[in-house]
Amino acid sequence: MRGYEPGADGRDRSSGGRLRDGGPGEDARGGVPGRGGRRPAQGTSRRPRPPHTDRSGTTPVELTFLPGLGSVLHGEVVAALQPRRAPCPVPGRDDALLVHLDGPLAQVRRLRTAVAAFVVVHLDVPRPRSIASGEHLGRVAAAVHASLRVERSVSFRFEAAGSGSPTFLRLAGLLAEATGLEHRPDDGELVVRVRRGRPRDDGPPEGRHRRTTPYGPRPDRLTTPPTDPGWDVLVRVGPRPLSARPWRVADYPGAANATIAAAMTRLVGVQAGDRVLNLMCGSGTLLVERLLAGPAAAAVGVDLAPEALAAARANLAAARLGANRPPVVWVQGDALAPPWAPSADGGPVAGPFDVVLADPPWGTLHGSHADGERVHAGLLRAAHDVTAPGGRLVVLTHEIRVMERCLRAAAGLWSVRADPVRVFAKGHHPRIYVLDRR
């Protein structure tokens, strides 16, 4: 079997250089049947669209996120990608948005609050085995090649109910032949999901019929025979999810989730003149994500543990922020007891600060529940002491009741900007608080 062969312009070269994705009444070469052979369709001067795009010529992409961060990702997509159509929720999901990309697929890599991105191929087929037919398989292969042009993978795997069945094993063999990737069902790099399509109820008005009851028809309620929803094939963009940060070369127990850190940065705001302080910085996740989001005037990280600061230095170096970011000053000291002594990095701690980032310890990993109130109350006081008037504080905490008590006690120091954002991550439900200095 001959698979999808992309040329320099992204077209399928496996059928004479034409795209194998004609519309109604067209053949595989873009013409219409007629006497004397095939002829070009009249009035169709536009270039054929790539097989992985939809009828509007855009690429449907499903973006997954941590539940609770949907509005943050929506705002980032609109700002970073500027799609013609606003992103919309995926029906039946609380962790996915659908966006139609007008430009290159690689632009999804700009997104920092998304967990993963998938090219969506909708197929009007009744069962998964129909995906193996030439036309449908070609569209799936085209989506795979679109992903490979963003970042190379060498293997793939299915994520689907019945992925080990004969139907999927046959489909895997055909897809491997069409793309050149190895099928590795347990640890393949490129994820290909197959799921039932979205149920639709869009039959024509004349197809509607009245709902009946044992006592006769009910004229006030009409139903439409549902159309078959088909199947969706989703091909992940890249061998790793977007949330797998390449800069995280040194991990540290209890480190913040990077997509949550990116969301905190967006919620508190990014301004080039900000002087940024990261209290209890750990391995530097919050500070690295803030500096990746935009330039700052100054950046300081404070932590009591030398091993945490060593990890933060390694991660910052791996992020390769470039010359347009300020040198970060790392301070070994108690974050709750300013002012801090000059650091070993070569200078005094700059201040006051415009933005303070904090992810206080929780549980028993780096502290205790009994110590939570002292830590949170001390954090609010310390941040107020070193923050400029009108400055902002963003806090990620798992100790919700403790934080609420401490905020009531510190009402003269900080005002809560909006309702805290509740995030669902691996069984935990932390909240993000954005505060303004009084």
Report CA-CA distances (Å) from 78 to 38, 81, 100, 295, 431.
43, 6, 11, 21, 24
Q: What is the pLDDT of residue 365?
A: 54
Report CA-CA distances (Å) from 304 to 30, 281, 282.
67, 9, 9
| Distance in angstroms (rounded) separating the CA atoms of residues 300 and 279 | 8
Q: What is the pLDDT of residue 37?
A: 43
**Which 3 state secondary structure label does DSSP give 64?**
strand
CB 172 within 8 A of CB 158: yes
Q: In 3D, which of 113, 185, 126, 136 has the Cα closest to residue 4?
A: 136
In order, the DSSP letters of 312-345 are HHHHHHHH---TTSPPEEEEES-TTSPSPPPBTT
| Distance in angstroms (rounded) separating the CA atoms of residues 352 and 387 | 5
Strands 182-183 and 96-101, sheet pairing? unpaired
| Distance in angstroms (rounded) separating the CA atoms of residues 232 and 62 | 11
- Structural domains of the chain, with CATH: 1-28+48-242 (3.30.2130.30), 258-437 (3.40.50.150)
| Distance in angstroms (rounded) separating the CA atoms of residues 403 and 150 | 42
* CA quadruple 143, 62, 101, 128: dihedral sign: positive
| Distance in angstroms (rounded) separating the CA atoms of residues 20 and 49 | 9
Q: What is the pLDDT of residue 198?
A: 81
Q: In 3D, which of 332, 246, 337 has the Cα closest to residue 281?
A: 332
CB within 8 A of 99, min separation 6: which ones?
60, 61, 63, 77, 81, 83, 85, 87
CB 365 within 8 A of CB 308: no
CB 184 within 8 A of CB 175: no
Specify the DSSP class assigned to residue 92: T
- In the numeric block, the tokens 């398989």 are attached to 137
Burial readout 318-354 (b: 16 or more C-beta within 10 A, e: otherwise)? ebebeeebbebbbbbeebbebebeebeeeeebebebb
pLDDT of the chain along its 438 residues, tens only? 333 344 434 434 433 333 333 333 333 333 333 334 444 444 444 555 566 777 778 999 999 999 999 999 999 999 999 999 999 999 999 999 999 999 999 999 999 999 999 999 999 999 999 999 989 999 999 999 999 999 999 999 999 999 999 999 999 999 999 999 999 999 999 999 999 998 654 444 444 444 554 444 554 544 555 578 999 999 999 999 999 999 999 988 889 999 999 999 999 999 999 999 999 999 999 999 999 999 999 999 999 999 999 999 999 999 999 876 888 999 999 999 998 865 555 555 767 999 999 999 875 555 566 789 999 999 999 999 999 999 999 999 999 999 999 999 999 999 999 999 999 988 889 999 999 999
